[in-house]
Amino acid sequence: MISPVGSAQLQTCFVNDAAERQQCLAEAEHLPAVTISSQAAANAVMLGAGYFSPLPGFMNLADALSSAQHMRLTNGTFFPLPVLCLTDQVSAAPLQTGQRIALRDPNRAGNPVLAIITLDAIETLSNADQAQITQCVYRTQDPKHVGVATFNQQGNILLSGPIQVLNFSYFSEDFPETFRTAGQIREAISAAGWQSVVAFQTRNPMHRAHEALCKIAMERLGCDGLIIHMLLGKLKPGDIPADVRDAAIRTMVEHYFVPNSVMIAGYGFDMLYAGPREAVLHAYFRQNMGATHFIIGRDHAGVGDYYGAFDAQTIFSEEVPQDALQIQIFNADHTAYSTKLDQVVMMREVTEHTPDDFVLLSGTRVREMLSQGQALPTSFSRPEVAEILMTHYQQQ
């Protein structure tokens, strides 16, 4: 099986021993506490789940700036973007380096303890630091960019150091059939006997174009299996909730994929909408969970018109160090239904087509049709999937 990034073994920050975990929770009741941001909480979950392996915890300012600028930590370790614990809240007692601090979850009632950090440093993110990180990671400082706005609203107190993760927040509770750690997915790949595995990232329900893209990738790469790996954390307003996406994807796989060829899983992370940089992070996740190939499509992880259509593909050849990742990238074009060929195709591969030969619906038009109870064209969406989405929109 493919090795995790930068290490022979997957490294996680989760406290696996139940007795030790209970001791940590008891200890946390007497520790200074900070309620962290949703993005920091998602980072903790990913550290605990092994997706950020081999990171031992939250980055300090020097590593954050180095990662943002060069995709490497100060010691040379590859990491595509900063993993931070930013907050605008501090405990009543002054924090000191060397202390153990309870990190409380902002996304669960009562803000229970999510993790304990041993503070290596307490630093202030200056306006200049913030601008540099956002420019490098998001390629813009525009406050209208949803990712930039979210990052800038977290606060400027940066807590760094190794952490002990004590639970997986709401993800394991709300999505027990879907949330999986990187280690659990590796175990499932091994149990299935898959040697070559392609992963597909999604924050949306899968329409026929997505379905076809996955099947094309599996066939051309000769893969034993496909992992549809969906983001379960926070999205921008208007995106489809995770439970609806989960139901739609499971229905598609049940009806339209070869049995036992697809694994459906999810991970606990908030979408960054960082375009090319997030595409590299997504590839990092997938290598850590055991995938050998990863699909990068048009405007991967993008939002608005901040990124070029294929920037998320070219970054791998132009900016990512050659020795950084073992996972192989499957570069895909936009897929659409061809009325001329009566099938879904990658648009760049059918040069004799005109725009009128494709069935293309904007996200806005799809939402309008669903909310009005109009059936989506079967050339665009499988009817079983469209029914789930229509029910969701009509309940809004």
pLDDT, tens only, 229-253:
999 998 877 778 889 999 999 999 9
Q: What tens digit of pLDDT does each residue of 187-214 get?
A: 999 999 999 999 999 988 888 989 999 9
* Cα(33)–Cα(290) distance, integer angstroms: 35
Amino acid identity, position 198: V
Grouping H, G, I as helix, E, B as strand and the rest as coil, residue 199 is strand
* Cα(283)–Cα(293) distance, integer angstroms: 9
* Cα(5)–Cα(324) distance, integer angstroms: 8
Q: Which of 266, 275, 237 is nearest to 367 (CA)?
A: 237
For the annotated catalytic residues, the residue numbers are 203-204
Q: What tens digit of pLDDT does each residue of 249-289 get?
A: 999 999 999 999 999 999 999 999 999 999 999 999 999 99
Asked if 47 and 119 touch (Cβ cutoff 8 Å), the reply is: no
Q: List, in sequence order, the alpha helices (H) in 50-175.
A: 61-70, 127-138, 146-152, 171-174
User: Does the global pTM surpass 0.85?
Assistant: yes
pLDDT given for residue 62 in this prediction: 98
pLDDT over threshold 90, residue 352 = no
* Cα(314)–Cα(184) distance, integer angstroms: 31
Amino acid identity, position 117: I
* Cα(109)–Cα(103) distance, integer angstroms: 14
* Cα(102)–Cα(105) distance, integer angstroms: 10
Sheet holding 343-346, edge to edge: 343-346, 335-338, 358-359
Cα dihedral sign for 233, 66, 318, 147? positive
Strand bridging mode 157-165 / 328-331: unpaired
* Cα(9)–Cα(21) distance, integer angstroms: 22
Q: Which domains does the chain have, with CATH numbers?
A: 18-169 (3.10.400.10), 177-267+273-394 (3.40.50.620)
pLDDT band with cut points at 50, 70 and 90 for residue 90 = low
Q: What tens digit of pLDDT does each residue of 104-127 get?
A: 999 999 999 999 999 999 999 999
